[in-house]
Amino acid sequence: MSDLGDTVLRMEIAALSVAALALVVSVASAAYARRTAHAAEREAEAATSAERRANRPTLVVEIEAKVGETDDSAIYNVRNDGPIDLDSISVHPPTPDDGIRYPVARVGSDWADHAAGLGAVRMGERARFVLAIGAREKLPDFRVRLVATRGADEWEQVVLLDNPRRGRVRIIFPT
């Protein structure tokens, strides 16, 4: 081959080598940027999760007063023990194994088809709801699902209600 052909071949090999090196550097940079972005995303999610856990409300549900054997409803208080004010609390009706429907309602409102909205509840304040229990002597255990919200955050917990005929027996099951 001529000197000119050798020079052109060397230049083509050098250009190809530089292009390959640029491709390797570009791929490595993209991978590094992606790892960095994922790490930052995970840190932000962890911080949000930690804040959400720290703000998880403590909701205390107590029966307002024991009811008699002929009473067909009972009133319960839901107290927000903090650590934040809540935009809303909703109470979902219990679904005991007996197959009977036991509707709930905010005190002073109509029975809810599904959940009864209790509205905004500030720390230390209470909201009230009524549970239709029927006029039977023996009642099933009533567990209601409470959903509390503040902004985009939502927390749920299942609460075993005080037996309306026996009075106060409180157990809280966070979910």
> CB of 90 within 8 A of CB of 59?
no
Please report where in the chains the tokens 């009977």 appear, as a residue. 100
Of 16-25, 59-68, 99-108, the least confident? 16-25
Report the amino acid identity of residue 110: D
| Same domain for 119 and 37 | no
| Same domain for 49 and 85 | no
Report which of residues 50 and 141 the model is more confident about.
141
Give the pLDDT score at 171: 47
Alpha carbons within 13 A on the beta-carbon side of 4? 0
| Same domain for 37 and 109 | no
Tell me what the mean pLDDT of segment 20-44 comes to: 84
E strand residue ranges, the chain = 59-63, 73-80, 86-92, 104-106, 116-121, 126-132, 143-150, 153-160, 171-174
Domain that holds residue 34: 1-54
| Same domain for 128 and 110 | yes
Mean model confidence pLDDT for the chain: 87
Q: In CATH, what number is assigned to the domain containing residue 140?
A: 2.60.40
Alpha carbons within 13 A on the beta-carbon side of 118? 28
Give the pLDDT score at 19: 85
Which residue, among 127, 121, 117, 119, has the nearest Cα to 82 in the 3D structure? 121
Q: How far apart are CA 110 and CA 87, in angstroms?
A: 21
| Same domain for 125 and 105 | yes
| Same domain for 114 and 77 | yes
**What total of structural domains would you count in the chain?**
2
Give the pLDDT score at 23: 87
Q: Cis omega (within 30 of 0) on the bond before 83?
A: yes
| Same domain for 116 and 155 | yes
pLDDT tens by residue, 106-115? 999 999 889 9
Tell me what the mean pLDDT of segment 128-152 comes to: 92
| Same domain for 129 and 66 | yes
